[in-house]
Every structure is written in C-alpha cells, then in structure tokens.
Amino acid sequence: MRPALTWATAVVLLVAAWLVAAVTPDGEQRMADPFRVSAEIGTPAEGRNVGVTIRNLTLADRVTTGGWFAEGTWLVVELDAWAVHTELPASLGVAYLVLGDRTFAASERPGGYDTDASLYGTGLRVGFRQSGSLAFELPEDAATESGTLQLALGLTSSAIDPEPSLQGDSVIELPVDLATLPHVAERALPPTEWAAR
C-alpha cells in the first residue's frame, strides 16, 4: 500500500471514530438509561415487561386496612398492573415519588400488615391485571409540591438506592401535582384483586 493511501485511510478512520464518539450522547454514562414511558390517568401504559393503568391519586391524612391504620400525609395511588410477556420475574418492586431533589419509595407498612393491602412488591401476571394500590408516606410539607411518579419492575430492597433500580429497563412515569389532588381525612386501601380487563 502506498504511504499516501495509508495516511489517508488512517485520517478517515480517526475522523469516523471522532464522529461516533461525538454523536453518542454522554458516552458510556448514558448506556444504562431507563426507557421512560409516559403515563396518563386512566390510560394503559406498557413498557418492556410492565403494564399499568393508573386510575386515581388521592392524598389522605389517614390510611386504613383491616384493623390497621396510620396517620400522616399519605399519597394513595390506585392502579391496575400486569406483566407483558414473562412472570420470571415480574415484581412491582420499584415505586418512587420524585419531588424536587427528594425521592420517596412506596411504603412497605400497609403490605407488612396485610399483603393484600398493597401492590408494592406483588408478582405481576401475564394475561391478567391485578388492581390495588400503592401508598406513599410523605412529610407534611410535600403535600403542595409537584413531581413524578415512577413505577418499574424490581425488588423492594431497591428503595435503599434508587439509582441502580431504574437502569436499563422500562420506567412508567406520571407527572404528579400534589396540590391539585383531592385531600381526604381517611382512605381505606383497596384490596389487591383480579381486575376486569
């Protein structure tokens, strides 16, 4: 190969490599980005293997299930949830409410008292929708803020560190303005049950 052709090939390859690096958004830092799926109230939203229909959101000063109750500032999210193609595994274990620089995980308290009182960590089924709720226990000053509800498959232990649990898979996202939500004194958490399709 002639020296001139060798140098020209090297220059072309260097420029091509620079172009690839330039058009790759933020390099490797973005390789594990979640695949965000926007949701609307009452409309089914489906990701890779998780589907939800968020039916309504309510703020409550007290939530109850069976003989258990807890007072505070609660956001109750009523929804249907299902797995799209596999149940191995498909647990609704990632549920965050992001308000500014604060991230709240869904409460494990209702499900700890009665597993039917929460969809948090429930195994989702292919071909069947389960209806139920997720409850977020919030500080009082959060009730006027706005942010984003994030739902994804994973283990409930992911509440320890939100960052890795949102990587590389679908995340259903719903914008939430807590100030505009109905605010009730008490909310009985609905039992988890099979939903009509």
Partner 1 sequence: MRRSWWRRNAAALCALVVLIPASVVALDILEFGAVRNATRAVAAGETTRIDGWEFGPVTVAPLDADAVGAPAGSSPVVVTIPVAAGPQGVSCLLPSVHEPTTGREWRTITTLEWQPDPEDPTFCTSEPTVPYDLSYAVLLPGDAGGPLVVELPLGTPDGLIDVSFDIGG
Q: Which is nearer to partner 1, 24 or 115 (CB)?
A: 115
Tokens of 75: 């956001």
Please report, for residues 34, 80, 89, 96, 129, the alpha-carbon distance to residue 125 in angstroms, rounded to integers and kept in the order given.
22, 11, 10, 21, 7
Sign of CA dihedral 56, 149, 131, 82: positive
> Counting Cβ atoms within 10 Å, is residue 13 exposed (0-12), middle (13-18) or buried (19+)?
exposed
Pattern 81-120, binding to partner 1, x per CB under 8 A? ----xxxx--------------------------------
Q: Which is nearer to partner 1, 18 or 128 (CB)?
A: 128
Range in contact with partner 1 (rule: CB under 8 A) among 9-17, 101-109, 123-131, 173-181: 123-131
2 is an interface residue for partner 1 by CB under 8 A: no
44 is an interface residue for partner 1 by CB under 8 A: no
Range in contact with partner 1 (rule: CB under 8 A) among 55-63, 100-108, 125-133, 179-187: 125-133
Q: Angle 121-171-34 (CA atoms, 0-180°, nearest 5)?
A: 125
Q: Which is nearer to partner 1, 57 or 92 (CB)?
A: 92
Tokens of 85: 């193609």
Q: To which H or E segment does residue 176 belong?
A: strand 170-177
Return the closest-CA partner of residue 193 out of 115, 125, 135, 132.
132
Pattern 3-32, binding to partner 1, x per CB under 8 A? ------------------------------
Q: Which is nearer to partner 1, 49 or 133 (CB)?
A: 49
CA–CA gap between residue 100 and residue 102 (Å, rounded)? 5
Q: Which is nearer to partner 1, 127 or 175 (CB)?
A: 127
CA–CA gap between residue 134 and residue 121 (Å, rounded)? 10
Range in contact with partner 1 (rule: CB under 8 A) among 11-19, 122-130, 141-149, 163-171: 122-130
Cβ of residue 181: shortest distance to partner 1, in angstroms?
Answer: 30
Residues engaged in binding partner 1 (CB under 8 A)? 85-88, 123, 125-128, 194, 197
